[in-house]
Amino acid sequence: MSAPVEEIRLNLPHIELAAHLYGPEDGRPVIALHGWLDNAASFARLAPKLTGMRVVALDFAGHGHSAHRAAGAGYQLWDYALDVLHVAEQLGWPRFSLLGHSMGAIVSVLLAGAMPQRIERLALIDGLIPYLGEAADAPRKLGEALQAQLDLPNKRKPVYEKVEQAVVARMKGVGAVSRDAAELLAQRGLMPVPGGYTWRTDARLTLPSPLRFTRAHSQAFLAAVQCPVDLVLAENGLLKGELPLLQMLEALPFNVTRLAGGHHLHLDDEAGAASVADCFNRRFASA
């Protein structure tokens, strides 16, 4: 946890993003993408254990120390993909690898499928494709999303009197995490407000998606990925029992490794981070 890390700011044409920078300057270029409502601290245990890699762990827009999107803008998966491309352009990386956890893994797959010429390799942790939807449900889902946007001004983020209360809440949140992991995420994710602390995340991040991919959409993106893919599945992760996803994997040339742990196995403890790092280090070294 004491490994050197540099805090950087990336001034993109449309938004300013924050990031943690790890590894040697001449290392393999890697952009790390965290999960929904997490932040760059998601890679605080894992990134220092990756050898020979120059890792830029982003705070996605609306998360951590990154700016929130402008009024009227949204947080769709393809918006994040464009942000990643702008980051690569600013770093001068014509080709790079992606390390993604959960939502970050989903964004990684979409970007690799859409622009395969830019992506060298994918290293994914307990994430692969978005939640699926049926075409027949699309009008109702869009209506719910539009109504949620209209109701947003009346929505208030929770305020915790003490940081400890926020840590406990994060431990029980979506993709439950260990206390150590929750503390790391909270250190970067909280800000002081009257009455205590609240999360820095943009309230719009909790709005329902206006559109979901069908199974055919997801299969098309997976089939379009041309680079090597290494996927770590947590035995007790969020993808456990996801039959449609597991069926898709059977037909794909991806390297799949199942490891003990929960959805945040790369952050929950040092042992989990070491196991994930060993898996990715072996694959990257053989590339």
DSSP state of 5: -
- CB neighbour list of residue 230: distance below 8 Å, 6 or more residues apart: 121, 122, 123, 124, 254, 255, 257, 279, 280, 283
Which one, of 60, 66, 105, 67, lies nearest residue 84 by Cα? 60
Which one, of 6, 21, 51, 44, lies nearest residue 270 by Cα? 44
Rg (alpha carbons) of the chain, rounded to whole number: 18
Active site residue 102: yes
Spatial distance between the Cα atoms of 203 and 154, rounded to a whole number of angstroms: 11
Q: Are 178 and 261 in contact (CB under 8 A)?
A: no
Q: What's the longest Cα–Cα distance across the chain? A: 53
DSSP-derived 3-state class of residue 70: coil
Of 42, 66, 97, 102, catalytic:
102
Residues labelled catalytic: 102
